[in-house]
Amino acid sequence: MVRLTLKIMAILMVLGIFGAGSGFAQEKNGVYRMMIESYDLMAAGKLDQAQEVYLKVLKVDPGNPLALNNLGAIRFKQGKPQEALDYFNQALAKAKGYKVQVNPVCDVGGSCLAFRPSEPVYANRDLAPLIKDNIKVVKAAQKAGPPKR
């Protein structure tokens, strides 16, 4: 029993080391941590604070497609559909080959989808088609016009 426990602990330590290594390799000046923080702020409804963090991410990692997508979702929620489209189009241009994990999704007020970053090993979907879906949502909303009161 003790041997089995030691083997399990050894395996978990090895996985932890390699998992952490891949995360650190992809992290660029704390971008990964900032992306998680900003997503969590969005999910909590703190859109202005999340937006500030995403803008900081873009200063460190210009063209980060996930940050651009999530900024688009925020701007759409804030009633700025053209700015949202601008962000989504910028994101789409950089999204080829960028993988995300789709399970944790933030539906910003019943509109565009934002995604929480994940370790590369867990990423299971290309970001580009997801951004295209967001663009469709914004264009449909623009076509429908402002909500009737």
Of the listed ranges 11-25, 51-65, 99-113, 125-139, the least confidently predicted one is: 11-25
Query: In 5-103, where do the E strands start and end?
Result: 99-100
pLDDT tens-digit map of 14-65: 333 333 333 333 455 688 899 989 988 988 999 999 999 999 999 999 999 9
- Alpha carbons 139 and 82: distance in angstroms, whole number: 9
| Domains of the chain, CATH where assigned | 27-143 (1.25.40.10)
What's the pTM?
0.69
What's CA 1's distance to the chain center, in Å? 42
Task: Return the pLDDT at 58.
Answer: 96
